[in-house]
Amino acid sequence: MSAKNSATRFGFVAQALHWIIAAMIVAQYVLISYAHAAEQARKTHPLAALEQLVWLARHKSVGLTIFALAVVRIGWRLFSAPPAWPPSMPRWQVLAARATHWAFYALLLALPLSGWLMSSAGNHPVSWFNLFQLPDLVAPSKPLEHFLHEFHELAFDALFAIAIVHVVAALKHHFVDRDDVLRRMLPWAG
């Protein structure tokens, strides 16, 4: 398989970035769920506060990784054009697919940035897997932290909704339209 995209398939690099980022988004949901559970456990188990910090630190590190991979993914998309849409695909679906992909990219950048900003506003350090600490982006501010927390949650809800539409559309193309839209992103499909 070629590293670059062809006229009919995504190449190895685009496929790897797509599936790694998708898996990391699922991991982010799991990590924050564990952090919320630890936060609830703090009411009866004070040591759960340390567990919560561990889950949040991992969440931040994975988020920063997603940000870096999203930047690479956008750069790769500009360097290696995606395959053409099937000629039978209506124009409105092509426009919706393009809008969905660019909304994904915007959210994959906005979510980690808003998380980093939120941590800075809350005076909570951000490190990448404890290897190095990132600088604060803004001065501590509880109102800003609250606003960014709300934005972060709304952005994740938007990402989740777009992901559902993306998966349903891919399955529709595969099972109803019987075109190659889904197969061209699958590493094992030829």
| pLDDT tens digits along 22-54 | 999 999 999 999 999 999 999 899 899 999 999
Domain that holds residue 169: 12-185
Distance CA 176, CA 180 (A): 11
pLDDT digits (tens, 9 = 90+) for 97-107: 999 999 999 99
Q: Name 119's Cβ contacts closer than 8 Å, sequence gap at least 6.
A: 60, 125, 126, 136
Q: Is residue 164 part of a domain?
A: yes
- 3-state secondary structure labels for all residues of the chain: CCCCCCCCCCCHHHHHHHHHHHHHHHHHHHHHHHHHHHHHHCCCCCCHHHHHHHHHHHHHHHHHHHHHHHHHHHHHHHHCCCCCCCCCCCHHHHHHHHHHHHHHHHHHHHHHHHHHHHHHHCCCCEEECCCEEECCCCCCCHHHHHHHHHHHHHHHHHHHHHHHHHHHHHHHHHHHHCCCCCHHHCCCCC
111 falls within a domain: yes
Is residue 156 in a domain?
yes
Round to whole Å and give the CA distance between 173 and 15. Answer: 18
Q: Would you state the pLDDT for residue 185?
A: 96
Q: What is the pLDDT of residues 151-166, one digit of tens each?
A: 999 999 999 999 999 9
Write down the pTM of the prediction. 0.94
Taking the C-alpha atoms of residue 113 and residue 188, their distance in angstroms, rounded to an integer, is: 34
107 touches 152 (CB < 8 A): no
Asked, for residue 90, whether it belongs to a domain, the answer is: yes
By residue count, the chain amounts to 190
Instruction: Yes or no: say if 28 and 59 are a contact pair by the CB < 8 Å rule.
Output: yes
Q: Mean pLDDT over residues 56-63, rounded?
A: 98
Cα distance between residue 117 and residue 122, in whole Å: 8
Give the chain's domain count. Answer: 1
For tokens 């919706």, the residue is: 96
CATH number, residue 85: 1.20.950
The stretch 117-126 carries a mean pLDDT of 98
4 part of a folded domain: no
Residue 159 domain-assigned (yes or no): yes
Closest C-alpha to 68, from 28, 30, 29, 108: 108
